[in-house]
Structure 1
Amino acid sequence: MQSASTDDLTIVGTPDYVFGFKSDISQCFEMSDLGPMRWILSIEVQRDRTNGTITISQRSYIDTILACFNLQDANPASTLLQPGNALGRHQSPSTPCQLEDMRNVPYREAVGSLMYAAVGTRPDIAFAVTALSQFMQNPGRAHWEAVKRVLRYLKGTRELWLVYGDQCNGLKGFSDADWGSSTEHRHLISRYIFTLDGGAISWSAKKQNVVALSSTEAEYIALTHAAKEAIWLCYVLADVLDPQVRKHPLLLHSDNRSAIALAKDNAYHPRTKHIDIRFHFIHEAVDDNKITLEHRCTKDMPADLFTKALPRPRLEHLSALFGLRSL
């Protein structure tokens, strides 16, 4: 007879369901009940039933990767990437001496470690990680210094937690686009972030395979990218929380009024008829009352954090808008 084991299992549901499931499964398998979840996949979890909040953090993981790359005693950095100091392939090694200098530098390992934090609990570093991952094949000394700066930023902000439940405003989405600002390519990068009761639950930065001809077109394509995620999230939440979620349109914010107008009534069709038909998905979603679009000024647009390197005050302001803060 063969046996198998797992080192952890998280059960989510109403109290009756959770206790019933644990009772049933313990009759079939030997198990240890460790009580309320406190850790999962290197993510620390705290629950405040009095205030009705759940908070998650990767501060222990941050300590681990800092030690792994010998930066545990380094000075913290106040920002991620230097605003206005774009990284490029012109900084990659091009001579045998430069290649030899970077031969034993653990660039790929460091960026991979940062990726786990970026997709786990730290959306604030997502733009930096996206930018740094473009140089995985041939990183230069400037790229490595930028990686270390991100690690030092994490050291200085290790006490930031993602907080859920301090706002009872349901599911909201925020969409933005980076229109041709990259020095390495001119493809637009669409970005979104979704929050549930004040805390970020989904975020993305995707380089599209098209070159937008205007900011309206770029934002319109970004809205379509966000709308697909919005509809999927509604289905998930309907299954997990309440089937009524699917009956209400999801609120999606953009900072471009022209893109919102195009999605609502196709008012700009003569100037945008070249846009690929698949990007008109957002127009159908609005017509079907699955998405409600609303303008939000750029200074309060959380997704703007994923489009460029920002100074510390603005980084902190936008991070707080999706629930990332010190307890």
Structure 2
Amino acid sequence: MLKKFQMENCKDIDTPMEHIVKVSMKDDEKSFVDITLYRSLIGSLIWLTVTRPNLSFFVHKLSQHMHDPKLYHWKLAKRVLRYISSTLDYELFYKGEDLTLIAFSDSDFAGDRLDRKSTSAYTIFLGGNLVSWLSKKQTTISLSSGEAEYKSLTTTTKEVLWIKRLLLELKCYADEDLSIIKNDNIFAQALANNPVFHARSKYIEVAHHFVREKVIGREISLEHVKSLNCVADLLTKPLLKNVFIKMRSNLGLISKSMLIGA
């Protein structure tokens, strides 16, 4: 990929995007002339996210401008390539452990500056190993951070239940085993656990209360986690360098040289 886009000799960089960057802010800039080249690069990056979940958010944001990319977006995409160049030997590392199903859910409230839609994200671990992840813009506008988080919880719950049912069919998971979903928003968890809060949040669609049904049925359990320990945060926004590196490691993305050294 680096050779294809003439970036094999580029200067390496530690993060795919600066933490203060808003991808949609410069849509009034000059358009990038070669749209086909931009689309080819984004297509290649999408393919790479199959094994590089830490790139999911950045590729997701850049892919939203494939119809009319600006020069600014091309520069951001090239920065992602510079980051890839610095992490060529990184890969997902899987280790044999128990089959505990733990998920992290997060959202970036009104993160898109153009349409004010939020981004949902989740990371799901089976026995400490990352098996599913998502970074996706929500289809409707959320009126509060609590609503945005609750929508993300709904998406996460659906994926967790699907994986749980698959494991049950494979006879490697017990039906009574409780799947844990960790989230850093107290309001969203209170809403799922306590019906008293419903009167204060009637604007949230009824469909999203399906999370509460699963909590009552003890199919899932919600736990609060600090934002710095919520791994899904990596898939909702650009982060500071030290936080990004920590989150990347928590996903299970490790340099092969580090494994050899260990």
What TM-score, normalized by structure 1, do the two folds share?
A: 0.74
Which secondary structure state, in structure 2, belongs to the residue aligned with residue 325 of structure 1?
strand
For 2:122 and 2:96, the matched residues in 1 are separated by 21
Structure 2 counterparts to residues 207-222 of structure 1, below 5 A: 207-222=137-152
Deviation readout 1:56-107 (Å, 9 max, x if unpaired) = xxxxxxxxx11111111111111111221212264456xxxx55x6136610
Which secondary structure state, in structure 1, belongs to the residue aligned with residue 166 of structure 2?
helix
Match of 1:194 in 2: 124
**Contact 1:305 1:315 survives alignment (8 Å):** yes
Report deviation, 1:197.
Answer: 2.1
1:281 and 2:210 aligned: yes
1:232 and 2:162 aligned: yes
Which secondary structure state, in structure 2, belongs to the residue aligned with residue 114 of structure 1?
helix
Match of 1:139 in 2: 69
1:110 and 2:46 aligned: no
**Contact 2:25 2:113 survives alignment (8 Å):** no
Query: Does 122-131 or 162-171 show the bigger shift?
Result: 162-171
1:78 and 2:14 aligned: yes
Match of 2:192 in 1: 263
Q: Aligned Cα RMSD in Å?
A: 1.8
Gaps of 5+ in 2: none
Deviation readout 1:269-301 (Å, 9 max, x if unpaired) = 111122111111100110111110001100110
Among residues 248, 251, 254, which one is paired with 2:183 in the alignment?
A: 254
For 1:105 and 1:149, the matched residues in 2 are separated by 18
1:164 and 2:94 aligned: yes
For 2:53 and 2:65, the matched residues in 1 are separated by 20
Instruction: Give 2:67's aligned amino acid.
Output: Q
For 1:111 and 1:127, the matched residues in 2 are separated by 12
For 2:39 and 2:250, the matched residues in 1 are separated by 31
Among residues 243, 247, 254, which one is paired with 1:314 in the alignment?
A: 243
Among residues 195, 207, 222, which one is paired with 1:293 in the alignment?
A: 222
1:69 and 2:5 aligned: yes
Alpha carbons of structure 1 residues 233 and 125: separation in structure 2 relative to 1, 3 Å = same
Query: Does 201-210 or 280-289 show the bigger shift?
Result: 201-210
**Contact 2:111 2:119 survives alignment (8 Å):** no
Structure 2 counterparts to residues 167-178 of structure 1, below 5 A: 167-168=97-98, 170-178=100-108
For 2:205 and 2:156, the matched residues in 1 are separated by 16
Gaps of 5+ in 1: 1-64
For 2:170 and 2:146, the matched residues in 1 are separated by 36
